[in-house]
Structure 1
Amino acid sequence: MSDDEETRIADPISDAIASLRARAEHQGPSADREASEALGLRLAVDTERENLRLLEALLFAAAEPLDEETLIGRLPLEANIQALLATLAEEYASRGVRLVEVGGRWRFETAPDLADALNEVRQEPRKLSQAALETLSIIGYHQPVTRAEIEEIRGVAVSKGTLDLLFELRWIRPRGRRRTPGRPLTYGTTPRFLEYFGLASIGDLPGQADLKAAGLLDARIPADFFMPDPGRSEGDVDGEDPLDEEDQRTFHIDFMDDDADVGSEDI
């Protein structure tokens, strides 16, 4: 290839380089300033997005609502917490969860219009105390029985809370009043008690031989040990008057209706 041909090929490249230099010289400092401003704007936008991501993570991970002072302490110094919270709240406004302020603190919560789809009914397991188990057993085997008789058998006082719990479970009910001075109230079990423990009648409660075979009674029980027959408590009992109308209003006997809606707690 001749020198003239090389020169003709190189000239277009040289011309392009010269043109770029001339354009840069013509634009001067303003072009550099515009480029710097554009770069700074991009950096600011990127920084804000990173701050938003950090704020979002802090609020999602928090076990409880966070106040602005706590959030400021975890964000970079240049972060505008009010602007970031407003932006994040706007972004989540139409989503399944939203950012809300509660008592001066911020948290994510589910959207109100989704409440029906998120409702869940759960039955909390409940465990009877030893005192409640003993009281229920005494009532089951000795009914109709007064509070004083329960305390005499157990050897300790019966707390009101124990009886209230058994009433709440609808396992016991006031049966009547003893024909003795003071006419103390007597207690007995309910159809709900039979239903929960799978008994056809109160007479199906395990007897002494059953309990001994199950290991619930010591094989060396005293010779004078007496265990009542629970079946004797069915029907009318001598020495007991039924509750009058005032008693029924006081103790709300209608709550013993078999059709009453009571959850099946694990006891």
Structure 2
Amino acid sequence: MDHPVARPEELRLLEALLFASAEPIDQATLAKRMPDGVDIKQALAQLQAEYAPRGVNLVRVANKWTFRTAGDLSWLMTRESTETRKLSRAAIEVLAIIAYHQPVTRAEIEEIRGVVTSKGTIDVLLETGWIRPRGRRKTPGRPLTFGTTDGFLSQFSLEALGDLPGLEELKGTGLLDSRLPTGFSVPSPSDDATLREDEEPLEPGDTLELLLAPAVEPEAEEPKPEAEAAAEVETAEVDVTVEAEIEAEAEAAAEADAAEPDAGEPDERADHAGDEDDAEDRGE
């Protein structure tokens, strides 16, 4: 009966060191922990060969050794997760306008909201897959028209776009003020894919990639109100005036110091006057 060949002890030591270490270990450090006479290169090569067919492999990274999951099993370590992100208030408003008023252009969205719509807001909605470019409006500049997608219906559990709440439902849920202006109405939304008479079909260059590139544009800094700007200018003038006054006072003080004789030095004119008085007393 054949007895299994005893496994070298240095292999067990290497295994223990490498498994216990949180970071890869260089060969010199491993060699210091081995018994005398152990060929560290040969031991590492043998251990690497042993682990080659296993779920973890001994690999060399930046001239250091460590155990890593086998490359063909990396898919087991992949974890998929859904990231939940809140839409901004601006994005919700734009989405609602597109849903109820489609097909609608960016300029028309801005007219309804009363504020400029950032390109980043449109980009976010395009990335969610809830809106899409439908065509181009037959007006100067041929702006893109936007509409909702099937993904929008699926996200909000709608069988059709007509299932969106109407005026009375919105008032009942408190989303609209009960005291609305005369003639106020909520449009009946329609997501008919057929282009309207005032729309033209998209051209080959009108791709989603072009719409999303470049990434979100940095919004320009809002101009400061005139009152704030005037206050800053007035403050600057005051600071300059104060500095000028300080400089003038410093110059005046310097001139005064130069005009006054130094207290530590004798006044020559006083000395000469004293000499004359002494001569008169002596009758000279």
Common fold by TM > 0.5: yes
Contact kept in structure 1, 2:52 and 2:58, CA below 8 Å: yes
Partner of 1:89: 48
Do the aligned residues in 1 keep the contact of 2:170 with 2:176 (CA within 8 Å)? no
Please show how residues 190-201 of structure 1 align to structure 2 within 5 Å: 190-201=149-160
Give the 3 Å change call, closer, same or farther, for CA 211–151 of structure 1 in structure 2. same
Q: Could you tell me how far apart the structure 2 residues matched to 1:220 and 1:102 are?
A: 69
Among 192, 200, 204, the alignment partner of 1:249 is: 204
Counterpart of 2:141?
182
C-alpha separation between the residues in 2 aligned to 1:83 and 1:154? Answer: 74
Any residues of structure 2 matched to 1:98-177 within 5 Å, and which? 98-114=57-73, 118=76, 122=80, 124-130=82-88, 131-177=90-136
Corresponding position of 2:163: 204
Identity within the alignment, %: 44
SS at match of 2:205: helix
Q: Any conservation in 1 of the 2:18–2:65 contact (CA below 8 Å)?
A: no
Change in Cα spacing, 1:250 to 1:177, as seen in structure 2 (3 Å) is same
| 1:53-91 CA-partner distances (Å, limit 9, x unpaired) | 132211xxx3xx63528x93xx69444875664454234
Relative to total residues, which structure has the larger helix share, 1 or 2? 1
Unaligned runs of 5+ in 1: 1-44, 254-267
Q: 1:87 to 1:149 in 2, by over 3 A?
A: same
Aligned partner of 1:16 in structure 2 is none
Show CA shifts across 1:126-178 (max 9, x none).
42421433322221112111112223334444333432333333322222333
TM-score of the two chains, using structure 2 as the length reference: 0.54
Residues 1:133 and 1:105: Cα distance change in structure 2 (over 3 Å): farther
Task: Provide the TM-score with structure 1 as the length reference.
Answer: 0.57
Question: In the alignment, is residue 230 of structure 1 matched against residue 188 of structure 2?
Answer: yes
- 2:147 match: secondary structure: strand
Contact kept in structure 2, 1:96 and 1:110, CA below 8 Å: yes
* 3-state SS of paired residue (1:249): coil
Contact in 2 for aligned 1:194/1:202 (Cα 8 Å): yes
Matches of 1:146 and 1:236, distance apart in 2: 16
Q: In the alignment, is the contact (CA less than 8 A) between 1:147 and 1:185 conserved in 2?
A: yes
The separation in 2 between residues aligned to 1:220 and 1:106, in whole angstroms, is 72
Structure 1 pair 48–67 and aligned structure 2 pair: CA distance change class (3 A): closer
Q: CA RMSD in A?
A: 3.8
Distance across 1 between alignment mates of 2:116 and 2:25: 50
In the alignment, is residue 55 of structure 1 matched against residue 18 of structure 2?
Answer: yes
For the 8 Å contact 2:102–2:189, the answer to whether it is kept is no
Query: Which amino acid in structure 2 is aligned with residue 228 of structure 1?
Result: V
Q: Show the 5 A alignment for 1:70-89.
A: 72=29, 77-79=32-34, 85-89=44-48
Give the Cα–Cα distance (whole angstroms) in 1 for the partners of residues 81 and 198 of structure 2.
38
Amino acid at match of 1:210: E
SS for the counterpart of 1:177 is strand
Higher relative contact order (CA 8 A, sep 6+): 1
Decide whether aligned partners of structure 1 residues 57 and 161 sit closer, same or farther in structure 2, where only a CA change above 3 A counts: same
Q: Is the 8 A contact 2:98 2:109 kept in 1?
A: yes
Confirm or deny: 8 A CA contact 1:52 1:84 kept in the other structure: no
Flag the 1:49–1:234 CA change in 2: closer, same or farther, 3 A.
Answer: closer
* Structure 2 unpaired stretches of 5+: 1-7, 209-284
